[in-house]
Amino acid sequence: MKLSLEVWPNMPWGRLEAAGPAWNSWGDKPVTWCAEQTASYGYDGVDFIFAKLLDVPSDQYDQQLKDLRATTDRLGIGIGYLGCHTTFVSPREFDRERGIETFKKALDAASVLGAKSVVTLIGDGYYDPPLNVLLSRRDAWRQCREAITEVAAHAATLDLNVSIELLQGTILNRVELIERMFDEVGADNLRMTMDTGAFYVAVKPFMNVKQAIKRLGKYIDVVQIKDEVGLPTIVNTNHIWFGGGLVDFRETFEALAEINFDGYASVEWEGWQVGGQIGVGEPAGVGLADFDRVAEESLEFLAEFGFKPQRAQ
C-alpha cells in the first residue's frame, strides 16, 4: 500500500452554496510546487483534483502537464489518480454532455502524467442534491450507465481505468448497486474508489465494513482516506479532522491488508471548505486550511493505525 496526498484548487466546485468561496494554502500554488512539497513530507505520490490542472490559461495547459510529469519523475513519486467529479446524471442534457467530455479530457491528462485511473463520483447527485424531484430513478440509472460506458471506452484506448466512487448522495450508494452497475457496463477497466467516510456513513448501516471491502476488493484501486460524520441521515455529512468522526482506521487498515491492497491510499482532506449545517466541511463551520499542517499531521495520525508511506520503510 502506498500513501499519497490529494491536492485541491481554491473554490473547487465552482458553485458556492455548499462549499463557499473556499480557500486552502496550496490552492493557488503551481502544481509542480505542490508535487515538490508533497514529496518533502515523505508521501509516495500526489493526486490532483482535475480542476487544479485546469486552473491555468489554456495556452499553458499542455506544458504544465509535461512539467508536472517531469517533476514527479525527478522526485521519484507517482501520480496515483486524477479526481474529476463531473456530471453524469442530470435533467440538463447539455450539462451531462459537457461533464462526459470533461472526464475524457481528464483521462487524456492522466495518460500524459502516468496516472493509472481517473476517479469520479456520480455527479450531480440524485439524493443530494435531490434530482429525484426532476428525474426518475430509472432514467438516472440509464444516464449513469451510458456515461460510464462511454468514458470507460475512451479510457480503454489509453490503457487507463475509470474508478467510480461509492457515495451516499448518488445513485451508486450501496455495495450491491456498484456490483449491478459494473455488471451492466461490463468493462474490464472499471474500478472502484473506496472513500472511508462514505463507507462508515453510507455502507455501515447496511453492511459490515470489512465485509463490504472484501466483497468489492477486486474492484478497489483507490482509497480516499478521511474522517466523517453523517448521522442521523447518510446524506447530511460533514468532513471532520482525523480522529473526530465515525471512521475506524484500524479496521480499515486491517481490511485492506486482508485483500492485499497495493494501490494508493490518498489523504483526502475536504474540511477546509465551508462547514456547518449546509456545508461539506467541519460541523463547527471553520476547518483547517493550512495544507502543510494537513500533509504533516495526517501522516502522524495515520501511522498510529499502520498507514505508512513505502518510502519511509
Q: What is the pLDDT of residues 207-258, one digit of tens each?
A: 999 999 999 999 999 999 999 998 555 567 889 999 999 999 999 999 999 9
Mean pLDDT of 302-309: 98
For the cut 70, the answer to whether the pLDDT of residue 38 exceeds it is yes
Mean residue pLDDT of the chain comes to: 94
Which 3 state secondary structure label does DSSP give 263? Answer: coil
Beta strand 227-229 with 238-240 is: antiparallel
pLDDT on residue 234 = 55
Round to whole Å and give the CA distance between 264 and 47.
9
Round to whole Å and give the CA distance between 295 and 298.
6
Q: What is the dihedral sign for C-alpha 231, 232, 234, 236?
A: negative
pLDDT on residue 178 = 98
Tell me what percent of the residues of the chain surpass a pLDDT of 90. Answer: 85
Higher pLDDT, 10 or 15: 10
Q: What is the dihedral sign for C-alpha 73, 78, 80, 84?
A: negative
CATH of the domain at 229: 3.20.20.150
pLDDT on residue 304 = 98
Instruction: Identify how many contiguous H helices and E strands the chain contains and give both numbers.
Output: 10, 10
Q: What is the pLDDT of residues 75-118, one digit of tens each?
A: 999 999 999 999 999 999 999 999 999 999 999 999 999 999 99
SS (H, E, C) 115-174: CCEEEECCECCCCCCCHHHCCCHHHHHHHHHHHHHHHHHHHHHCCCEEEEECCCCCCCCC
pLDDT on residue 16 = 58
pLDDT on residue 77 = 98
Residue 187: Cβ-neighbour burial (10 angstroms; 0-12, 13-18, 19+)? middle
pLDDT on residue 286 = 86
Q: What is the pLDDT of residues 246-281, one digit of tens each?
A: 999 999 999 999 999 999 999 999 999 888 877 788
For the cut 70, the answer to whether the pLDDT of residue 158 exceeds it is yes
pLDDT on residue 233 = 58
Round to whole Å and give the CA distance between 70 and 72.
6
Mean pLDDT of 64-78: 98
Q: Give the number of other Cβ atoms within 10 Å of residue 237's Cβ.
A: 23
Domain that holds residue 285: 2-312
For the cut 90, the answer to whether the pLDDT of residue 52 exceeds it is yes
User: Is residue 225 within 8 Å of residue 251, measured between CB atoms?
Assistant: no
- Structurally, the chain folds into a number of domains equal to 1
pLDDT on residue 232 = 55
Q: How far is CA 154 from the centre of its chain?
A: 20
Closest CA to 2 of 38, 27, 53, 33: 38
Round to whole Å and give the CA distance between 35 and 80.
12
User: Is residue 198 within 8 Å of residue 91, measured between CB atoms?
Assistant: no
